[in-house]
């Protein structure tokens, strides 16, 4: 099964994509994570990506379509994948349709995370991840069972994203409303758009997703 999780930054897409990967083997394809890995590599593309991401802007569509086309051609994606953070524009959605048709892949469902935008700044500014395995946590909403120790890998190093600073978050939300929300009618017209309550707790959102996927 191949699906898209669609919602503004901080709506919980990454958390749910990680759960789907752990429980159902669906590979999480997070373009944000891919770009952060490119930034960490220090390449020319990484330097460009860092400036774009820290400003809350989007990377060019052709670059992102190229990155995803290469990734979904990898053998692990044959088990099914969850797109998290892609597509972010109608041009990317059209590019995805073309590349999936070329590979005879089907897009089964697009799940919209419905959220109250005013809650997102608090959600985003409190979040952090394990530096070892990437598991996601939050200062208030999702602490590790043992303070300072990752539930998944036992790691003790954690990190925060530089674009999760309050001053960048509003730019990212504006960008979502301008460029990404217009994708919703695109998928509604195809009859594959579903929605979950992104304000519910993590387990409840997951239950709603599982119900949709069957
Ligand atoms: P995310 O981790 O999904 O919140 O992405 C972090 C940042 O990476 C975004 O704010 C964008 O600057 C960039 N980015 C991630 N995915 C895309 C995409 N599909 N198109 C353009 N820019 C992207």
In short, whether 134's Cβ falls inside 6 Å of ligand 1 is no
Q: Rounded to 5 degrees, what are φ and ψ at 110? A: -120, 125
Active site residue 165: no
- The answer, yes or no, to whether residue 173 has pLDDT greater than 90, is yes
- The answer, yes or no, to whether residue 167 has pLDDT greater than 90, is no
Q: For ligand 1, what atom is nearest to the CA of residue 92?
A: 19
Predicted confidence at residue 206, as pLDDT, reads 98
Residues 175-198: what's their mean pLDDT?
A: 97
In short, whether 8's Cβ falls inside 6 Å of ligand 1 is no
- The answer, yes or no, to whether residue 166 has pLDDT greater than 90, is no
Strand ordering across the sheet containing 109-114: 27-30, 81-84, 2-6, 109-114, 193-197
Given the residues 79, 172, 175, 194, the one annotated as active site: 172
For residue 198, name the pLDDT band (cuts at 50, 70, 90). Answer: very high
Helix axes 61-72, 31-41, angle to 10 degrees: 100
Residues above pLDDT 90, as percent of the chain: 93
In the reported structure, the alpha carbon of residue 53 is separated from the centroid of ligand 1 by a whole-number distance in angstroms of 7
For residue 197, name the pLDDT band (cuts at 50, 70, 90). Answer: very high
Atom 11 of ligand 1, nearest CA residue: 58
Given the residues 13, 48, 79, 194, the one annotated as active site: 13
CA angle 20, 64, 175 (to 5 degrees): 85
This prediction has a pTM of 0.93
CA angle 139, 47, 6 (to 5 degrees): 50
Active site residue 127: yes
Predicted confidence at residue 64, as pLDDT, reads 98
Instruction: Quick: pLDDT tens for 106-134.
Output: 999 999 999 999 899 889 999 999 999 99
Q: CB within 8 A of 112, min separation 6: which ones?
A: 6, 7, 184, 193, 194, 195, 196
In the reported structure, the alpha carbon of residue 141 is separated from the centroid of ligand 1 by a whole-number distance in angstroms of 23
Residues 200-205: what's their mean pLDDT?
A: 96
Instruction: Quick: pLDDT tens for 10-69.
Output: 999 999 999 999 999 999 999 999 999 999 999 999 999 999 999 999 999 999 999 999
Instruction: Quick: pLDDT tens for 95-107.
Output: 999 999 999 999 9
Atom 8 of ligand 1, nearest CA residue: 32
Active site residue 13: yes
């Amino acid at each position: 099964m191949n699906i898209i999780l669609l919602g503004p930054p901080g709506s919980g897409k990454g958390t749910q994509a990680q759960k789907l990967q752990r429980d159902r083997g669906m590979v999480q394809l997070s373009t944000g994570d891919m770009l952060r890995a490119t930034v960490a590599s220090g390449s020319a593309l990484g330097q460009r990506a860092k400036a774009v991401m820290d400003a809350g802007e989007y990377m060019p569509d052709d670059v992102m379509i190229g990155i995803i086309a290469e990734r979904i051609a990898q053998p692990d994606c044959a088990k099914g994948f969850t797109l998290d953070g892609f597509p972010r524009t109608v041009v990317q959605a059209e590019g995805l349709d073309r590349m999936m048709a070329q590979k005879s892949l089907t897009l089964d469902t697009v799940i919209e995370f419905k959220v109250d935008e005013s809650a997102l700044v608090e959600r985003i500014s409190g979040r952090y991840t394990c530096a070892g395995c990437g598991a996601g946590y939050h200062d208030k909403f999702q602490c590790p069972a043992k303070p300072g120790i990752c539930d998944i890998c036992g790691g003790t190093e954690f990190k925060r994203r530089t674009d999760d600073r309050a001053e960048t978050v509003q730019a990212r939300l504006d960008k979502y409303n301008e460029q990404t929300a217009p994708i919703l009618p695109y998928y509604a017209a195809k009859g594959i758009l579903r929605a979950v309550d992104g304000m519910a707790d993590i387990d409840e959102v997951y239950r709603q997703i599982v119900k949709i996927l069957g």
